[in-house]
Chain A
């Protein structure tokens, strides 16, 4: 006689939340540098791109395939959207709408956007990251990861558009503002941002390679930084960033 198995009070296995990392060029190139390294270190694979046929000024050819400047990567439940060009006013609305649409279709539970914030006197031994969430549900993540809340200040430019659109969407978004040099690529601050993100997503990230390449990244990111500042300068006339010499 075969005994019958009974399932008793089986607890629901918690689902690992789907997280999307958003890396776009901004102050100190924090978003680009940190998400770019996370994509590399976590061995994420390219799965798509966000295409804007009207404004795409450049394409990338890799292994005979054509890719746009805004690509989507994936590793398990972790996604990343990485842009190699600054998102200007002309394209920010369609960009964020595509991003929200992608997140909704793919069951993304949360978007994390590493970003930079100007620090007039940055202490390299005490670089701070502040969090700003579009939804109360993410405040516990900030608390668990000891991320102080961004309490007062002003956000202008495309980031403001992204934040306001996210706030009115169903996808919670956490923006991480790491103190940085606003005008130069700042891998030192990006390193802090990577640590914060890896702690939130609970993945170990080996930073050895990044640390070795900091000077290289500063040199390599010059043009992207200049393009980004030009975009920010156009949009933030009131703040008057300094003149950039050619």
Chain B
């Protein structure tokens, strides 16, 4: 990805994004934004994956984490203090929330956002209502 408009935006916002790019540089992969929502009987994790094709997304469940890795269609370049770094992929490991039924995890990708749905394990003893 290259741009003509970005330099003016970058000049304005570049230093603010520095701490996030530090994570990128340490991990050598871009770290996407994500959110966790609790919806009644399920957890939903949304991960922002711009510039990615569905076929290039890999979702794996490891011990306690959902790991998402995605290849960018176009490489992303970041210049900082005269150095240019090129990133080809995004990666994020999200801790699985409590009481999640990992056998029933599902994922959907729409408009560049990956939505991972994890149903909650149902607990408790049913009490009959008389």
Contact = CB atoms under 8 A, between A and B. Distances in A.
Q: Is the interface of B mostly helix, strand, loop or mixed?
A: mixed
Interface size class of B (residues with CB under 8 A): 35 or more
B56 interface: no
A216 B37 contact: no
Interface residues of A, number: 41
Contacts of A37: 5, 9
A37 to B, nearest CB: 7
B13 interface: yes
Contacts of A183: 33, 35, 46
Given A181-B113, A244-B35, A220 B6 contact: yes
Contact of B48 (A32, A71, A214, A218): A218
A224 B48 contact: no
A69 interface: yes
Contact of B36 (A40, A71, A243): A243
A142 to B, nearest CB: 28
A245 B76 CA distance: 22
Interface in B78-106: 92, 94-95
Interface string B14-47: 1111111100000000111111111000000010
Given A69-B16, A216-B3, A60 B11 contact: yes
Given A183-B33, A215-B50, A243-B35, A223 B8 contact: no
A221 interface: yes
Given A209-B4, A214-B50, A220 B36 contact: no
Contacts of B13: 32, 36, 84, 220-221, 224
Given A213-B5, A242-B36, A245-B95, A219 B12 contact: no
Contact of B17 (A184, A214, A220): A220
Contacts of A231: none
A69 B12 CA distance: 7
Contacts of A244: 33-35
Contacts of B31: 222
A185 B21 CA distance: 16
Contact of A36 (B9, B19, B38): B9
Contacts of B14: 60
A242 B30 CA distance: 22
7 contacts: A184-B48, A213-B6, A215-B1, A220-B6, A222-B33, A223-B20, A243-B35
Interface of A: 32, 36-37, 39-40, 58, 60, 62, 69, 71, 82, 84-85, 124, 181, 183-185, 188, 209-210, 212-227, 242-245
The 4 A-B residue pairs with the shortest CB-CB distance in the complex, in nearest-first order: A223-B20, A215-B51, A218-B50, A223-B17
